[in-house]
Amino acid sequence: MSKSKIPFYKKVQEQPWLNPREKPYIHLENISKYFGDVAAVKNVNLSIYKSEFFSLLGPSGCGKTTLLRMLAGFERPTTGRIYIEGIDMTDVPPYDRPVNMMFQSYALFPHMNVEENIGFGLRQDGVPKNEIKNRVDQILELVKMSELGKRKPHQLSGGQRQRVALARSLVKRPKLLLLDEPLAALDRKLREHTQFELVNIQEKVDITSLMVTHDQEEAMTMSTRIAVMSEGQIVQTGTPTEIYEFPHTKFIADFIGTANMFEGVLVEEEPDHALIHSEEIDGDLYINHGVSVPIGSHVWVAVRPEKITIHKNEPKEKRNCAKGIVVEIAYLGDVSIYHLRLETGKIIMATVTNFNRITDQEMTWDDEVYLSWKPSSGVVLVT
């Protein structure tokens, strides 16, 4: 079971996407891509701003890589235009775009050492020897690999190879770095460490980055903004917090983190609150935001497991409350995830932070407990 993680930092203090006068660095206009009958990308419109670390996130086959490849120039859009710094790049070949792509497999040359691998692109471009040496040295220092310049790829760990590949992408000073699942080959610990390193390095060289990933934790941790894709379309764009706290649809609430989903009928609707009756909890859910659908509409309320509190005694407030039995406890070290079965049969997940050692905890299997959550904890979804 995976833990949902709230983004723990935001890199860009100013948010250029909120400034109507700011010009996008990359602009995709009505981009579609068909492979025969297969619509890989459908009418995508997207603006990315300078210095952003932007992620395309979505399940396998949703069209992320195809979109990235169109930006790099390896695929031509069936319809639409691609602009970089306001210049139409749609018909410009890959080698003439100010773009570098780092692939899933690092594809380092096995017979060349680290320095030669990194300098390869510069030699191809005819850069003078001295300058190549300076730029390679600088970039090796940046990725903390100065000591390992003479090693061959097979003498490096996976994480070190990954840093060489990154150095090779950066040494040509592209304006736009495209990353296709850059950390996929690393184990969990190294991956988490490298996520920080990658973001720090990209900030130091002040580059704009676009990353493709299907790993929501990775996207949440690293990105200024995320576009969630499904079946060739962008279904929501926002900061990690916006996407996590205010998902627009059930698909997004489910795909990003974990959500308890309560099905119900809207019975009261005001600008500052909504009341939803749900047979699934045999009660009412009170939410402190209005919704834009008529009374009687079929809706869902998403509540994240960490927003649910477990009580031994019945709370006074009856709304946003349910009674259940502990049927499962998943101990994950820092937190435990409780599965609670309500009298209606509905299973609810609640995350409890383990302040004490697990043996000290009072709640256990088959205990009867009460659950509650705040009016601000739920989001009403209509699709």
Verify binding: residue 76, ligand ATP, rule CB under 6 A. Answer: no
Q: Of 28 and 62, which has the nearer Cβ to ligand ATP?
A: 62
Residue 330 neighbours by CB under 8 Å, 6+ apart: 1, 336, 337, 339
> In this chain, which of 16, 24, 58, 182 binds ligand ATP, going by CB under 6 A?
58
Provide the angle, in degrees to the nearest 10, between the axes of the packed helices 114-124 and 158-170. Answer: 20
Residue 232 or residue 283: which is nearer to ligand ATP going by CB? 232
Q: CB 38 → ligand ATP: shortest distance, Å? A: 5
Closest separation in Å from C-beta 130 to ligand ATP:
41
Q: How far is the CB of 277 from ligand ATP (least distance, A)?
A: 38
How many residues touch ligand ATP under the rule CB under 6 A: the total is 12
Which lies closer to ligand ATP via its Cβ, residue 249 or residue 309?
249
Interface with ligand ATP, residue 64, by CB under 6 A: yes
Residues 161-220 that bind ligand ATP (CB under 6 A): 214
CB 338 to ligand ATP: min, Å: 32
Residue 299 CA to residue 292 CA, distance in Å, equals 11
Q: How far is the CB of 58 from ligand ATP (least distance, A)?
A: 6
Under the binding rule (CB under 6 A), the answer on residue 305 touching ligand ATP is no
**Which residue lies nearer to ligand ATP by CB, 31 or 122?**
31
Residue 61 makes contact with ligand ATP by CB under 6 A: yes
Smallest distance from ligand ATP to CB 75, Å? 8
Of the pair 66, 372, the CB lying nearest ligand ATP is at 66
Among 26, 28, 31, 40, binds ligand ATP (CB under 6 A): 40
**Is the CB of 62 or the CB of 379 nearer to ligand ATP?**
62
As a three-state string, the secondary structure of the chain is CCCCCCCCCCCCCCCHHHCCCCCCCEEEEEEEEEECCEEEEEEEEEEECCCCEEEEECCCCCCHHHHHHHHHCCCCCCEEEEEECCEECCCCCHHHCCEEEECCCCCCCCCCCHHHHHHHHHHHCCCCHHHHHHHHHHHHHHCCCHHHCCCCHHHCCHHHHHHHHHHHHHCCCCCEEEEECCCCCCCHHHHHHHHHHHHHHHHHCCCEEEEEECCHHHHHHHCCEEEEEECCEEEEEECHHHHHHCCCCHHHHHHCCCCEEEEEEEEEEECCEEEEEECCCCEEEEECCCCCCCCCCEEEEEECHHHCEEECCCCCCCCCEEEEEEEEEEECCCEEEEEEEECCCCEEEEEEECCCCHHHCCCCCCCEEEEECCCCCEEEECC
In angstroms, rounded to a whole number, what is the distance separating the alpha carbons of residues 254 and 337? 17
Q: Which of 13, 18, 20, 60 binds ligand ATP (CB under 6 A)?
A: 60
| Least distance between ligand ATP and beta carbon 65 (Å) | 3
Which CB sits closer to ligand ATP, 55 or 65? 65
Distance from C-alpha of 217 to C-alpha of 52, rounded to nearest angstrom: 18
Q: Does 66 bind ligand ATP (CB under 6 A)?
A: yes
Task: Establish if 224 lies at the interface with ligand ATP (CB under 6 A).
Answer: no
For the chain, give the number of residues. Answer: 383
Q: Which of residues 18-37 bind ligand ATP (CB under 6 A)?
A: 35
**Nearer CB in complex with ligand ATP: 160/236:** 236
To the nearest whole angstrom, how small is the minimum distance from the Cβ of residue 120 to ligand ATP?
26
Stretch of 56-64, 85-93, 110-118, 199-207 lying at the interface with ligand ATP (CB under 6 A): 56-64
60/356 with CB nearer ligand ATP: 60
Looking at 6, 38, 205, 330, which residue binds ligand ATP (CB under 6 A)?
38
The candidate with the shortest Cα–Cα distance to 158, out of 146, 149, 166, is 166
Q: Which of 65, 117, 162, 195 binds ligand ATP (CB under 6 A)?
A: 65
Q: CB 62 → ligand ATP: shortest distance, Å?
A: 4
Q: Distance between alpha carbon 36 and the CA centroid of its chain, in Å?
A: 30
**If we measure between CA atoms, which residue out of 336, 324, 329, 337 comes closest to residue 369?**
324
Residues that bind ligand ATP (CB under 6 A): 35, 38, 40, 58, 60-66, 214
